Amino acid sequence: MSILLETMFFLALAHFIYESILAPSWRLNLRYKLFTLRDELRALRGDRDVRLDEEHYLHLQDSINTMIAMLHRYDVVSIVFAELRYRRDPEFRKRVEVRATILDDCNAPQAQSIRRRSVDLIARAIALNSGMFCVPLYPFALMGMGFCTLRRSLRKFAALSGRELKSIAPGRLGAAIN
């Protein structure tokens, strides 16, 4: 029981530190990077050597502006709800596909680079905004992704002698192994 309470206390403390100190500063850093991408896009629009048509420019700028405004809303739950709506609503799916096609079909390599970097930043935002939500899920993800590795580790762990096992965690396992 005390281990459970200690674990809950440390998780609550970690959640407080993460959500109140770390995540806001990291999110601000991502926001600044998105502002930089938007500025690059606007400079690209003014460059006469780059052939960036109005439709691609407007869609990419709108996409980045949405990312800036809604950065705090990108998380695993939002992605799941978006995916569910995408699967269930054919009209929504069509709008998303048309917009994604427009954004991905741009001929200007610099604009493609901006698009790619903006998607990378949103992937980081999803990880950032879902950080403490995913902590309880990490063991399941690790088991799902690396069950064979886990099995090899358990095989090694099961081969330890009582003395070796006591030396790993003397306070926790020592009393149980006698």
| pLDDT tens, residue by residue, 82-140 | 888 888 889 888 888 888 888 888 888 898 899 889 888 888 888 888 877 766 666 66
Whether 130 and 157 share a structural domain: no
| Structural domain containing residue 177 | 146-178
Residue 167: what pLDDT? 55
**Rounded to whole angstroms, how far apart are CA atoms 118 and 125?**
10
Whether 15 and 70 share a structural domain: yes
Whether 128 and 157 share a structural domain: no
177 token code pair: 């192994």
Average pLDDT over residues 19-25: 90
Instruction: Please say whether the dihedral angle defined by the alpha carbons of residues 9, 14, 16 and 19, taken in this order, is positive or negative.
Output: negative
pTM attached to this predicted model:
0.70
Whether 43 and 121 share a structural domain: yes
Q: What is the CA radius of gyration of the chain?
A: 24
The answer on pLDDT for 161 being more than 70 is no
Whether 71 and 158 share a structural domain: no
Whether 150 and 130 share a structural domain: no
The answer on pLDDT for 64 being more than 50 is yes
Average pLDDT over residues 57-62: 88
Q: How many CB atoms lie within 10 A of CB 141?
A: 10
Number of domains present in the structure of the chain? 2
**Rounded to whole angstroms, how far apart are CA atoms 132 and 94?**
34
Q: Which long-range contacts (CB under 8 A, 24 or more apart) does 15-18 make?
A: 15/132, 18/131, 18/132
* pLDDT tens digits along 146-155: 655 545 444 4
